[in-house]
Chain A
């Protein structure tokens, strides 16, 4: 039985494990940088205020105006429609079908990468939000009143998005890889899942309202929006604003369940990376034990993988909560619940770093396919050549192994530093006394070092 994760199905090339010498350098740098961050950090909070400056009114009017909203929403709906159609009617070869690359690479990786720089880019293109808003506008025009919605249960918070995030990754890397076949998730199954998710999302929007559901329950809005909080652009009161980088993240986790979202992000990326290396033997052992009980092989593999993914979620959550528990011991500490919510945003850079480290090369290689043969022949059956690029391929020489290693390690180190910065900044809010704030950060430093070194370790044993 071979264990072939999702990425194998799309990309014909996997990354080499980071060499030991680079792992050692990076781990050493992480520890030394952490020490200097603690000893030389600032004494007043810097990121609590976004210091957002409005951009020119005309620019805001063009980019945020109704025509732009309609255009972006229509593009989102059209592309989702193309992906679903390609999945249902196109080839079952995952690397030749528009659906998988578009949904799981271009969108799933592209929106986090670019939103982390420019702000939430998904919101204007969100196809479900566009449909929900258009439907609401139609209802108002016909009925002459706003559609009535139920009040969203406050305690539910972002938990639906956290669970949905795990479900999306489960579909991608567990359901798709089950059975040990190299095809991975089939485009038809992907399209059906997109249809089911669309129906579920539109129903939730009808019940709770489009904006409310996008803010709390819609998986992709919450997930991409989380990374968008690191970016430099945002809008408020109808004006586009440029803000201090990372500052909008400080207010992101106030909704219950937000910590679970960022933990799910780190855990799911960890699982995907570890299943190819660090967890490989463990997964095979548990699978063999389950298979020996007479369980159906596909069921045994899915159950094994699911257990390991949930263990990752529990493990990442436990490390974070231990750090929070440690901070609680520092005199003058706020409540455990306040600390747990208050520091959750400091994990967003770590989550982004994990994404970049694990999927950067996949994104670069697969986007050549996206804007090459997949754009010209979305169904992948050779019937169309819309832009004359249907015969193009992927040039794997555009990135050397060394370049990929440096990006991977660099991403983890930079994510570590930004996470430390945000944690130190928040500590200064909770402990105005600088010494106590610093003392509280020994715990968060331990958490960050643990996540960063674990990320480096995963890279060093991946595909090994």
Chain B
């Protein structure tokens, strides 16, 4: 191995170590959800008359084994569908609220949408 290669190798290892320290030392948890998942407080997604979620698409994050628990309030007749978990709930004529309460068994990113409007209202993350 010549000196040049050794120097470049050393530099690469230093960069690798720095990368590892900088990126690996942080906290993995994503807590930027727009809707909270605290115990005792069930997040509610409110849909307006235009069929859009007030405040934008709600981010809900759970750990595998937790219970997925949230409500959706819609002012008109609709079907709310949580994809992946494949749970659909009907909103009656005149509007109403439906509650999702199920175990977080499948890891990944899922969406809940208003089937009629084709509008995403929730992005649901289930982490390992």
Contacts and interface: CB of A to CB of B under 8 A. Distances in A.
B39 interface: no
Interface of A is mostly: helix
A400 B128 contact: yes
Contacts of A34: 12
A27 B19 contact: yes
Interface stretch (A10-18, A64-72, A233-241, A376-384): A10-18
B17 A28 contact: yes
A28 B106 CA distance: 30
Given A38-B5, A463-B109, A16 B20 contact: no
Contacts of A38: 5, 8-9
A252 to B, nearest CB: 30
Interface string B5-39: 11011001101110110111010101000000000
Contacts of B12: 31-32, 34-35
A442 interface: yes
B113 A24 contact: no
B108 interface: yes
A462 B16 CA distance: 23
Instruction: Name the interface size band of chain B.
Output: 35 or more
Given A4-B120, A13-B106, A27 B5 contact: no
Contacts of A397: 105-106
A21 B28 contact: yes
Nearest to B19: A27
Contacts of B16: 27-29, 31-32
A15 B83 contact: no
Main secondary structure of the interface of B (DSSP, over half): mixed
Contacts of A31: 12-13, 15-16, 19
A29 to B, nearest CB: 8
B24 A21 contact: yes
A400 B107 contact: yes
A16 B84 contact: no
B28 A8 contact: no
Contacts of B1: 39
Interface string B76-100: 0000000110100000000000000
Contacts of A16: 107-109, 125, 127
A14 B125 CA distance: 9
B110 A438 contact: no
Contacts of B17: 28
B84 A28 contact: no
Given A2-B119, A2-B120, A23 B23 contact: yes
Interface in B102-121: 105-111, 113, 118-120
A402 B108 CA distance: 10
Contacts of A396: 84, 106, 108
B42 to A, nearest CB: 23
A397 B105 CA distance: 8
A144 B76 CA distance: 71
Interface residues of A, number: 39
A24 B19 contact: yes
Nearest to A30: B16
Given A28-B16, A39-B5, A21 B57 contact: no
Given A14-B108, A35-B9, A182 B19 contact: no
A20 B30 contact: no
A315 interface: no
Interface string A244-269: 00000000000000000000000000
B110 A401 contact: no
A442 B8 contact: yes
A15 B106 CA distance: 11
Contact of B20 (A25, A393, A463): A25
B49 interface: no
Contacts of B30: 464
Contacts of A400: 107, 128
A15 B20 contact: no
A456 to B, nearest CB: 10
Contacts of B19: 24, 27-28, 31
A13 B83 contact: yes
A43 interface: no
B108 A13 contact: yes
Contacts of B24: 20-21, 24-25
A15 B120 CA distance: 17
A12 B109 contact: no
Nearest to B115: A182
**Residue from the set B1, B4, B12, B110 with the largest chain A CB neighbour count within 10 Å:** B12
Given A396-B106, A464-B30, 12 more contacts: A12-B83, A13-B84, A13-B106, A14-B108, A14-B109, A24-B19, A27-B16, A27-B19, A28-B19, A32-B12, A182-B119, A397-B105
13 contacts: A4-B111, A14-B108, A16-B127, A20-B28, A21-B23, A28-B17, A31-B19, A32-B13, A35-B12, A36-B9, A39-B1, A182-B111, A401-B127
Top 8 A-B residue pairs of the complex, sorted by shortest distance between their CB atoms: A12-B83, A24-B23, A24-B24, A28-B16, A14-B109, A35-B9, A401-B107, A31-B16
Interface of B: 1-2, 4-6, 8-9, 12-13, 15-17, 19-20, 22-24, 26, 28, 30, 57, 83-84, 86, 105-111, 113, 118-120, 125, 127-128
